[in-house]
């Protein structure tokens, strides 16, 4: 089984269907990583979010409303029973090295307390809480999360160390201060703390300061290229940085604050950091990646996945900076 096939990614609606069909045990068997993506509404409106219902506009509002209606028609008891079954299979399956609870914002899920009660009974499966959650700024919720017996990792998103800049990126006043508060508290706890930064144009402008803030606190960042979904109307060109802007921001930053870089082309990364660059899995839901004409002469072309078509439309040939031999 290859690395991709060994990972099971379940959306909440998929969990219900597989549980009702008696397929969960077979789905979990042999997996190295199992992730449950909770689909409750998010308090943020990030321009780079690949969930269209979370973005501003009529399409996003309609999709979010429909998703809520589906959730309301599913009895809470059934949803908790399905989660209970998933936890039991994950804990019993020796191959599972990571159980991830993620989503739009797991801390805002209406059944969060019920989920936590079940997670508190895990005995083996290493748990990751993954999300943009600002909820961990709350001491009571943070203490409850940290008391989960198999918790190994917490992943939060920080897109700028300046709270106002972060708020502007995620469209939620107060979010930046909450994430900073959570990170200040979590960095003293003996668990792994992973900080995600989505490389939007605004985040790239703030990247040197953000990485300096993290480095000063013994934290590192995982940098994520913005990879759009196949939205018919396309994505705003203002969202995408040029490769040379990302490269310049990283060159100005302390490289020790960068843990990994996912999905960026090699020309967006200084030579000393290219060893931390990895590609992302292709997805039928994601916008196709493409190449500029100048990419044909780039020495990194054989190992470059390309850039989103929306990024090329936004910047043309300037979207990339071919690397000469």
| Residue 134 clears pLDDT 70, i.e. is over it | yes
Query: Helix 163-170 vs helix 175-186: angle between axes, to the nearest 10 degrees?
Result: 120
**What residue spans of 136-226 are helical by DSSP H?**
139-146, 163-170, 175-186, 201-216
pLDDT (average), residues 111-130: 97
Closest CA to 92 of 30, 45, 165, 46: 30
Rounded (to 5) percent helix, strand, coil in the chain: 45, 15, 40
Give dist(CA 227, CA 279) in Å, integer: 11
User: pLDDT tens digit string along 92-117?
Assistant: 999 999 999 998 899 999 999 999 99
Architecture of domain 1-186: Alpha-Beta Horseshoe (3.80)
Least confident of 34-48, 93-107, 122-136: 34-48
pLDDT at site 235: 79
Q: Give the tokens for residue 94.
A: 């020796």
Backbone dihedral angles phi then psi of residue 37, each to the nearest 5 degrees: -100, 110
Give dist(CA 111, CA 179) in Å, integer: 22
Confidence of residue 13 (pLDDT cuts 50, 70, 90): confident
Closest CA to 305 of 261, 257, 245: 261
Closest CA to 223 of 165, 170, 265, 177: 265
pLDDT at site 243: 97
User: pLDDT tens digit string along 268-313?
Assistant: 999 999 999 998 766 677 888 899 999 999 999 999 989 998 899 9
Strands 127-130 and 151-157: parallel
Residues 78, 13 contacting (CB under 8 angstroms): no
Q: Where are the domains of the chain?
A: 1-186
Give dist(CA 5, CA 255) in Å, integer: 32
């Amino acid at each position: 089984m290859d690395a991709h096939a060994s990972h099971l990614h379940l959306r909440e609606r998929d969990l219900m269907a597989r549980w009702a069909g008696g397929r969960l045990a077979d789905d979990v068997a042999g997996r190295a990583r199992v992730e449950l993506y909770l689909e409750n509404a998010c308090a943020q409106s990030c321009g780079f979010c690949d969930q269209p219902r979370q973005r501003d506009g009529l399409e996003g509002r309609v999709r979010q409303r429909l998703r809520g209606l589906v959730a309301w028609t599913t009895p809470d008891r059934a949803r908790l029973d399905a989660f209970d079954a998933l936890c039991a299979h994950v804990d019993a399956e020796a191959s599972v090295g990571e159980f991830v609870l993620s989503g739009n914002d797991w801390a805002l899920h209406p059944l969060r307390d019920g989920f936590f009660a079940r997670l508190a009974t895990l005995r083996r499966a290493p748990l990751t809480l993954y999300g943009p959650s600002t909820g961990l700024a709350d001491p009571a919720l943070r203490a409850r999360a940290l008391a989960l017996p198999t918790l190994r990792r917490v992943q939060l998103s920080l897109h700028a160390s300046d709270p106002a800049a972060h708020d502007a990126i995620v469209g939620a006043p107060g979010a930046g201060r909450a994430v900073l508060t959570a990170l200040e508290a979590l960095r003293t706890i003996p668990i792994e703390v992973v900080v995600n930064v989505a490389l939007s144009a605004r985040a790239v402008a703030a990247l040197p300061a953000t990485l300096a803030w993290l480095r000063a606190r013994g934290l590192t960042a995982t940098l994520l290229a913005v990879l759009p979904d196949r939205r018919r109307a396309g994505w705003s060109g203002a969202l995408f940085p040029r490769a040379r802007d990302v490269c310049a921001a990283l060159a100005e930053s302390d490289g020790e604050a960068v843990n990994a870089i996912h999905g960026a082309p090699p020309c967006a990364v200084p030579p000393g950091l290219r060893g931390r660059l990895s590609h992302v899995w292709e997805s039928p839901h994601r916008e196709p990646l493409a190449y500029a004409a100048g990419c044909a002469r780039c020495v990194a072309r054989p190992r470059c996945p390309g850039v989103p078509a929306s990024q090329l439309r936004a910047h043309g040939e300037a979207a990339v900076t071919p690397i000469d031999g």
